[in-house]
Amino acid sequence: MIPKSGWTSLSKAIVLVSGPDSTKLLNGLVTSRFLPAITKKNEYTVSTSTTAKDSPQLETFNVTSNWGVIHEDIYQEPSDVWMSRNGINSMFLNSKGRVLWDCFIYPTPYTSTVTNTDESQYLIEVDPCFESKLMSYLKIHKLGSKITIKKLDNVISNYYYNDDIENGFDDYLTALDETYGYNYTVSDSWKNAQLMKDKLFNPNVIHNGNLLGFAVDNRIPNFGLKFITTGSKEAAVTADDDSESPSPFIFPANKINQQDITQRRYINGLYECGDNPTVSLFPFEYNLDYINGLSLDKGCYIGQELTIRTYNNQLFRKRIMPGQFFDIINGPPSQLSPSHVSLTVADDSLLPMNDIELETQAAAVEAEEAIGFQPSTNPFGGISKVVRKRKASPGKILSSRDNLAFALVSIGAIEKSKGIFQVKTDQGPKGFKVFTPDWWPQ
């Protein structure tokens, strides 16, 4: 069982993008919106209501300054747009509309300090396996932009969550976000960031000088808190299991380890690109529209055309979903229940129930036929061969942890099979039950 609450440092890479053109550059590279106003070019890329500023309350400001980031709710009608110094979740795509990696982007510093810069600055947080690719990607697209790209070493990515319903933290965080997270002027954005910090962090541990970035993890509503601080990554890893570490918050918080954070994501069905960096899927297969990482009306960015066309036509054929392995003889579980098991997936393809047995029988028949098979002479000069068509798999396992896994699954296959499949493992055939997360939109 994972702890009900706790905080720890994460193994993340941090890249600093700064300079007067950094806001404009990021707006053209990621799926989230960074510019307050856009120009309509094509009917399918920008709706009529967003050809100017979306919110009449949002002040006109200089986007080259250190103002923060744009926040918006694509499910709200009409959509509202506001600014904040809280970071956001987003993704980088390639020109074919496939996801390169996911990220969090933070305006930095979070609060006002003596080292403030008037120019916009952003921290981009990615899985370490994508760090060198991100650096190269930014440098390629920099061209003549007035920006500086720098890898940061002496910074730490931290994470806190609280799933204890009885202590009221979820309500407390919602109230804080509603009070200080919605801003329509740059001055309010700076002021409320300071107030947000004071309502959360222990000033003896987290202060204006070492808090570089902050975000409410709203990939799932109020899922956790992310904060970037100065410090040694090596020291953070060493202290990972140090229960005596002082709480960075104004309330008690136990130190946990990164594995607890990962396990919690598996239980809640929140996939990250770092779980399997070898695959490159489309944004909606990663559920980007469900995790608040997509702007529908921001205009052009790399990979945007296919993404918006897919959304407008509602062509969602596959989704990454959480699931659980089970012994077929015992039947499928009713809910995700993590347990420590030693299990290795031998073939990542999902199969309908009984297909493994059918495949085994078919293979045996083919072997017997091959022994006595004498191909007939083709009158046209060749030897004819019977081609057996393989059925398309309804999905595949992307990553697994103990008895839990993430799978890319055909939505149509789930409806036919009620989400129950088979998988080949080192222990023989195992059942695999796919679950729909309760935080998904209905």
CATH number of 317-354+392-442: 2.40.30
Model confidence pLDDT, tens digit, residues 291-348: 999 998 888 999 999 999 999 998 899 999 999 999 999 999 999 999 988 889 999 9
Q: Indicate the domain borders of the chain.
A: 5-312, 317-354+392-442
pLDDT in tens, 208-222: 889 999 999 999 999
Output the 3-class SS for 399-436: EEECCEEEEEEEHHHHHHHCCEEEEEECCEEEEEEECC
pLDDT for 360 beyond 50: no
Fold annotation for 5-312: Gyrase A; domain 2 (3.30.1360)
* DSSP calls for 179-198: HHS-BSSHHHHHHHHHHHHH
Average pLDDT over residues 25-50: 72
Q: Does 372 score more than 60 pLDDT?
A: no
Question: Do the domains 5-312 and 317-354+392-442 sit in the same CATH topology, yes or no?
Answer: no
Taking the model in full, what pTM does it have?
0.88
User: Average pLDDT, stretch 178-199?
Assistant: 96
User: At 442, is the pLDDT very low, low, confident or very high (cuts 50, 70, 90)?
Assistant: confident
Tell me the pLDDT of the chain averaged across its residues: 87
Helix runs in 252-404, H state only: 258-268, 304-313, 355-372
Percent of the chain as helix, strand, coil, to the nearest 5: 25, 25, 45
Amino acid at 127: D
Q: How much is the average pLDDT of 369-373? A: 52
Band of the pLDDT at 60, cuts 50, 70, 90? confident
- Mean local confidence (pLDDT), 370-387: 55
- The more confident residue out of 47 and 192 is 192
Q: Is the per-residue pLDDT at 258 higher than 70? A: yes
